[in-house]
Structure 1
């Protein structure tokens, strides 16, 4: 039997999944690492910890490939990371992740000048602290010694390829999320380089996602449990691959993913730019462009609700061997749709789409004496979906109406959450029963790179069974009434986000109290 390994490089863990060539999961391994938040707005990872997790995860699943050959390893990777290296390829920083907001001041300045919109119109990446474009401005201004010493800039996947093969390359899918790549000529944008002060030779070579590297040295091959000539395929960003992984690559078919963060995306055959700057345009490959919007606040917000409002239930669930989220969502299910008029804006970590405001903060609105913890957790779950729906409205302006929704990510395990999405969107939501969509999509790209398949559409035969959730009239009528309030309120609060964020930076993190 022939096998392929899909590697999913995530924000807090790396997963390796062993598939056969028909897309059947043979084995999987998941190894975690911390996200360092040592200072306000910081969100970094450690290079050695990620490399160790990658090596151990691949080795673990490679050992399960008995009586056969591993044809290739391919990658789905978190986007927008940045690492600076000196001329000898020694790292000068940890991995600065998409969730890092320290560049907010320089991002706002760039947006206010109009230059930001010019760069966005060529790169397709909204001007936001998540993007390496903004991170480079932060390094230039806040870490000048590192900036002057830096000779190379990579992301986490590119670092792994450099360690394994000594190459300096970045696939166009990851590159299209840097804010530095001109998505129309697929090369580093001259204006973005000028604004950041970065030279083209400091950036990696943009290559096709189907590019193959071979020739592991003996020590690396042994550590990974692979033949030295195993093909390593670059693959793509986790966002674009999420669409492929649920077979949402036809026009009007939206993929919604809610994991730690979230996104909604559709695929077109060419780049499309939003004149209002609300949506991204990232490459899956040169013939498939993913238009959509990412949100910072997904499952991590539900985790916050669990840890801060349902601590006793969490302990009970642990004792009973239950999933604490299942118990919490069962409690939320006792409350009617709309949580009796309690709304929650889920901006605990700032927000990307649809408001693109790193200073955004969360809030409950409509609290009365009748509301309980059950109402609050239901409103948290609904608020995350309302926010995704706001992104969908912007997406339809750019890419056309949505015909159907394919849902994946941790939230898709919750029947209550799935039904909420169907009701709020008033669309049937299809949820594949297989959850390894990113890693599967990466291996399909590997099969195309290796000439085993002719096109990406073959993934439709690999996904298997799915569940459909139809909107329920008694629920969507309630949501129709609440949605405009949610949207108007998000706009009305926005002028105060910077003020409350400045207050928190000044007092909360220093231990000072207001007088």
Structure 2
């Protein structure tokens, strides 16, 4: 039975997992790296640290393979940007999707008379997360640096070049840059002009199942791989998460909560939101992923842990106990609706549904009777309400959801899953493995290598699943609260810009 390595280059860590052809995990590694946030809006990482994490992970899992590894297939976080010199040496750290310093540039793009035409060409909302906005920002604020760069690349292109000497990016990740035309499958001339970049300064565009070869023999030996091992370019982590949890059929949506979150559904043709609020990204031929990303997912619960449960977190640092488990157990004891307390979780600005980098979080309805337990549950509910707000937009384009496939760390929590099922009033299914992006990369690799005939065969590989059905009483509660949540979000928006002046 063939074995393949799925490499998922994430925002805070790289997960490397060795799968066999039945989708069983043989070995896995997870290597983290720091996020630099030393000035307001910054969110940078070291490309070399990420490369080192990739190499360490591959080395460890390949050593546990029971036979020669058939291939390596890659997933990566979207919207990354690195400037390289003519020797492919980084001139900058990697700007992540979370770097918000291009907010003014994104606002300028949105104000253009042809802004919606730009969205229709690229399928990417105009926001500071995108390399397009960041390149406009760099050209305006650091023109010398911008002009020094020979190459503008994403993190996966950088990693693949270091592994095999070829500079390519797949249609899926390119689609998320704001520089790719989803109609022509080429770099978009209008976007390039705005970014002050030539097509020759960008990686070669390839399909997601493209195979690369050319390992340096010495590097291959270090990695416990044959120099002939093919590298499958793969796709973006969001698109592969849908594939990895078998959410590729009509009506089956993937809901992910990791550090951030997203709602995504696969369609057979590109579908674009008339108001430009949703993304439309390529996965594979006749498979497009439509959805919306949110900035605020597990990072909000981390804020709850560090702020409202600081004493327990400090004490648990020495005992090894989990403050997260304490928070979710307390939240589970609070009734749906948190006794009338709502939280808008915009602690880190917001992408979908607001697309407002100045968005601010808020508790509303706080009274003297509320405790940390209600505040914790309200935060969990607020994260899901926000995703439901995005889902409402997605369903207007793609039709109703019949099932939710949950992926990301939150899917391990019964409390989280029940809140999701109740707010969406839809059955939630959780695959045996919640690491959808790495499995999705492996499945794409299996197809590229001819080990499966169609991506639909993923349903044989996802493993045993558990399901959570909506609680009718809780559904009624949330259906009463959700309109209030939306009304408040709309009322807050005009104030965000004013509040941002006082940061």
CA separation in 2, counterparts of 1:436 and 1:107? 32
1:2 aligned partner: 2
Counterpart of 2:465?
466
Distance 1:412 1:317 in 2: 23
The two structures have a TM-score, normalised by structure 1, of 0.96
Structure 1 pair 85/320, CA: closer, same or farther in 2 (3 Å)? Answer: closer
CA distance in 2, matches of 1:139, 1:320: 46
Show the 5 A alignment for 1:276-425. 276-318=275-317, 321-425=320-424
1:68-217 to structure 2, matched below 5 A, reads 68-217=67-216
Deviations 1:212-264 (A, max 9, x none): 11121122112222111101001110000010011010011100000000000
Q: How far does residue 90 in structure 1 lie from its aligned partner after superposition?
A: 2.1
Task: After superposition, give the CA deviation of every residue in 1:435-477 in whole Å (9 maximum; x if it has no partner).
Answer: 2321111111111111111100111011111111111111111
Task: Please state whether the residue corresponding to 2:31 is helix, strand or coil.
Answer: strand
Deviation at 1:311, TM superposition (A): 2.0
Partner of 2:428: 429
Q: 1:26 and 2:23 equivalent?
A: no
Question: Are positions 1:273 and 2:272 aligned together?
Answer: yes
Q: Is the Cα contact below 8 Å between 1:318 and 1:324 reproduced in 2?
A: no
Pairwise CA distance, 1:280: 0.2
- 1:320 shift after superposition: 5.1
How far off is 1:321 after superposition? 4.0
Alpha-carbon distance between aligned partners in 2 of 1:268 and 1:178, rounded to the nearest angstrom: 20
Once the two structures are superposed, residues 185-215 of structure 1 have per-residue CA deviations (whole angstroms, 9 ceiling, x without a partner) of: 1100111111111111111111011111112
Which SS does the other structure have where 1:290 is aligned? strand
**In 2, Cα distance between equivalents of 1:411 and 1:464:** 18
Alignment partners' CA distance in 2, 1:463 and 1:249: 13
Query: How much does 1:312 deviate?
Result: 2.6
Instruction: Give the secondary-structure state (helix, strand or coil) at the position aligned to 1:113.
Output: coil
Correspondence 1:182-261 to 2 at 5 A? 182-261=181-260
- Partner of 2:14, secondary structure, is strand
Deviation at 1:324, TM superposition (A): 2.0
Deviations along 1:275-312, whole A, 9 cap, x unmatched?
A: 11111000111321000000010001100100111123
1:466 and 1:348 map into 2 onto residues whose CA distance is 33
- Report the Cα distance in structure 2 between the residues aligned to 1:454 and 1:2, rounded to whole angstroms: 15
CA contact (8 A) 2:407 2:435 kept: no
The 8 Å contact of residues 124 and 178 in structure 2, kept in 1 or not, is answered as: yes
| SS of structure 1 residue aligned to 2:400 | coil
Q: The residue matched to 1:297 in structure 2 has which SS?
A: coil
Q: CA deviation at 1:116?
A: 2.3
Deviation at 1:109, TM superposition (A): 1.3
Contact 2:242 2:264 in 1 (8 A): yes
Q: Distance in 2 between matches of 1:344 and 1:428?
A: 24
Say if 2:493 is the partner of 1:494: yes
User: What's the CA shift for 1:319?
Assistant: 5.2
Q: CA-to-partner distance for each residue in 1:89-123, whole Å, 9 max, x for gaps?
A: 22111100000000000101110223322111110
Q: Distance in 1 between the 2:139 and 2:285 partners?
A: 32
Query: How far apart, CA to CA, are the structure 2 residues paired with 1:336 and 1:317?
Result: 27
Question: Structure 1 regions of 5+ residues with no counterpart?
Answer: 505-515
Report the counterpart of residue 13 of structure 2 in structure 1: 13
Structure-2 residue corresponding to 1:512 = none
Displacement, 1:429?
A: 0.8
Contact 2:23 2:463 survives alignment (8 Å): no
Moved over 3 A (4+): 315-322
Alpha-carbon shift at residue 50 of structure 1 (Å): 0.6
Deviates more, 1:492-501 or 1:315-324: 315-324
Post-superposition shift, 1:166? Answer: 1.7
Counterpart of 1:477 in structure 2 is 476
Q: Pairwise CA RMSD of aligned residues?
A: 1.1
SS in 2 for 1:463: coil
Query: How many residue pairs get matched?
Result: 503
Alpha-carbon offset, residue 383 of structure 1: 0.2
SS at match of 1:481: helix
Distance 1:279 1:476 in 2: 26
CA distance in 2, matches of 1:466, 1:317: 32
Cα deviation, 1:50-92, whole Å, max 9, x if unaligned, reads 11111001100011013x1100000111010001112232211
Shift of residue 22, structure 1, vs aligned partner: 1.1
Tell me what 1:511 maps to: none
Partner of 1:51: 51
CA contact (8 A) 1:258 1:411 kept: yes
> What is the rounded CA distance, in whole Å, between the counterparts of 1:415 and 1:487 in structure 2?
26
CA contact (8 A) 1:313 1:328 kept: no
Structure 2 residue ranges without an equivalent (≥5): none
Equivalent residue of 1:265, what SS?
Answer: strand
**Length-normalised TM-score, structure 2:** 0.98
Cα separation, 2, equivalents of 1:105 and 1:169: 30
Query: 1 CA distance for matches of 2:102 and 2:222?
Result: 37
The answer as to whether partners of 2:165 and 2:214 remain within 8 angstroms in 1 is no
- Please give the per-residue CA displacement for 1:354-392, whole angstroms capped at 9, x wherever unaligned: 010011111111111111111100100000000000000
How many Å separate the matches in 2 of 1:185 and 1:447? 27
Counterpart of 1:510 in structure 2 is: none
